[in-house]
Structure 1
Amino acid sequence: MFHFVSPPLPHYVSCGEDTYPPGGTHPDRSGIGVFDLLVVTSGCLYLEEEGSPLHIASGHYGILRPDRSHRTAEPCRTETHFYWLHFHTLGSWNASSDGASYWAEPEDTPYARIEKFSIYIPRTGKLEPTGPAGSAVRRIMLLNAEQSAKARWDRQILLQDLLSALQYQGGEYAESPHVRVAERAGEFLRRHYKEHISYQMLSESLHFHPNYISLCMKKTFDCTPLEYLTRYRIEQAKRMLIHTDEPIGRIAELAGFRSFPYFVRCFARNAGQPPNSFRKLFRK
């Protein structure tokens, strides 16, 4: 299972198709820097990615990682036709077995830094030619020879359709338990950010011990629930500073801060300047 944190969304790089005769082999490569999505329509590809077998039969797909080596484990036994599509992301990603942090460092913009969402794509699976994923693959291939701005844009949109179909084609997608808990906690905090929130409230809502919730959020977002909540409140304050004429004290209250001095300290630490300077910068 691959986990992508967006935005930014994974983006299209290139695509093509190939047919191997019996005895044909896929190139051995290492660290190609892009994800390689292989869709087999006939025959079977017998691959290996750093010791992990990846056999892709007709009507199935497999994804090779950008940071590992892969090789042919066994030549094709019959004529094998497949499509290949390279895509990548400038955002944070990992495989579910890595155990690394999923948090992407925020960009230096006045708008939301915390409102990320997750995309989960199985490493392998079925890909029905007549289904949504198969349709997206065919349409991307048809646009491959076109280099107009519209064609490039359409390929990007079709890639999102393809990844969405792969994520949801088998029903509700699987994800690690700690990611599920962290995202539920994040949803609760975003929904109730204007209120006074305690760890007890969070625990009672999610039916997990506060320490476990904090551990899950630390693993997933690299921050505690309190840090997550504070960042989200700051983003709401930024929007109000830019788009409204409300006094700064009132904005602090509307964003969920019960103490004005604490709001000013948190805002300056997050934005690198106090609220009044931030407002002047974007309300010239």
Structure 2
Amino acid sequence: MHFSYSGEKEVRHAPLDRFQQPFEQPFSNPYEIRLPYRAGPGGANEGPKLLRELVRLRDGNRTAAFWKEQALLLELLRLLEEGEHESRSTPAIRIAEQAEAYLKANYQAELTNGKLAEALHFHPNYIVRCMKERFDRTPMDYLHEYRLEQAKLLLVTTDWPIAQIAERVGFRHVPYFSACFKRQAGVPPLKYRRRYRS
């Protein structure tokens, strides 16, 4: 299978009338698919089976096959990514992913590099290096971004006051939360809520 990629894709939008707002995605998804440059079909038996099924669907009814092909392609991408992840998984990457899981599970609590180090039984400086290698950010930067993403979700899905949301996601001071939120989202929390509430 060969994927062809020519760089950044230019997206052209139809002109907006003066009352229409451009669509913006309210929540970011920090997940990226990382595929190896060259790899086998993934999985000892699963990968080749998926490829055969994709080829078989090519000759059938195009309408009926479309969604099945999409599901098979996603499964194949998952296998390729997992194979790449296992082949390049180092102790540092495993530590970074353990730190990520701990931060996500405990983001509402007061966390420091010291508490994270105690939980993972590694030196704080080593954990910081691992997180930078894997996620290009320190544990506290990762935590900060994650808290703000959770706040965005709560702003859109609940009627809670800003102070309650700030406390719920781990910010102890509402003005600091509002300033951080505006810096990241470009608008204050209440304006963000009004923009994305349906």
Would you say same fold, with TM above 0.5?
Answer: yes
Q: What SS does structure 2 have at the residue aligned with 1:239?
A: helix
Q: Which residue does the alignment assign to 2:25? A: 109
Q: Per-residue deviation at 1:118?
A: 6.2
Q: Per-residue deviation at 1:89?
A: 7.8
Q: Which residue does the alignment assign to 1:185? A: 99
* Residues 1:139 and 1:126: Cα distance change in structure 2 (over 3 Å): closer
Q: What SS does structure 2 have at the residue aligned with 1:212?
A: helix
Aligned 8 A contact 1:113 1:235 in 2: no
Identical aligned residues as a percent: 38
2:169 to 252, 255, 263: 255
Cα distance in structure 2, aligned partners of 1:265 and 1:126: 46
Q: Per-residue deviation at 1:253?
A: 0.3
Question: Which whole-Å deviations, capped at 9, do the CAs of 1:31-52 have from their partners, x for residues lacking one?
Answer: xxxxxxxxxxxxxxxxxxxxxx
Q: How many residues align?
A: 179
Cα distance in structure 2, aligned partners of 1:158 and 1:125: 13
Structure 1 residue runs without a partner (length 5+):
1-84, 91-107
Structure 2 residue runs without a partner (length 5+):
7-23
Structure-to-structure mapping, 1:1-284, within 5 angstroms: 85-87=1-3, 109-114=25-30, 116=31, 123-124=39-40, 128=44, 131-146=45-60, 148-165=62-79, 173-174=86-87, 175-283=89-197
1:133 aligned partner, one-letter code: G
Q: What SS does structure 1 have at the residue aligned with 2:2?
A: strand
* Residues 1:194 and 1:141: Cα distance change in structure 2 (over 3 Å): same
2:118 aligned partner, one-letter code: E
* Residues 1:146 and 1:87: Cα distance change in structure 2 (over 3 Å): farther
Q: Per-residue deviation at 1:112?
A: 3.9
Q: CA RMSD in A?
A: 2.9
Aligned 8 A contact 1:241 1:251 in 2: yes
TM-score by length of 2: 0.77
RCO higher in 1 or 2 (8 Å CA, sep ≥ 6)? Answer: 1
Aligned 8 A contact 1:182 1:220 in 2: yes
Cα distance in structure 2, aligned partners of 1:125 and 1:143: 18
Q: What SS does structure 2 have at the residue aligned with 1:143?
A: helix
Return the structure number with greater strand share. 1
* Structure number with bigger Rg: 1
Q: Per-residue deviation at 1:211?
A: 1.3
Cα distance in structure 2, aligned partners of 1:141 and 1:148: 12
Aligned 8 A contact 2:41 2:48 in 1: no
1:86 aligned partner, one-letter code: H
Return the structure number with greater helix share. 2
Aligned 8 A contact 1:233 1:256 in 2: yes
Cα distance in structure 2, aligned partners of 1:240 and 1:272: 17
Q: Which residue does the alignment assign to 1:42? A: none
Q: Which has the higher mean CA deviation after the structures are superposed, 259-268 or 159-168?
A: 159-168
Cα distance in structure 2, aligned partners of 1:188 and 1:145: 47
Cα distance in structure 2, aligned partners of 1:161 and 1:179: 24
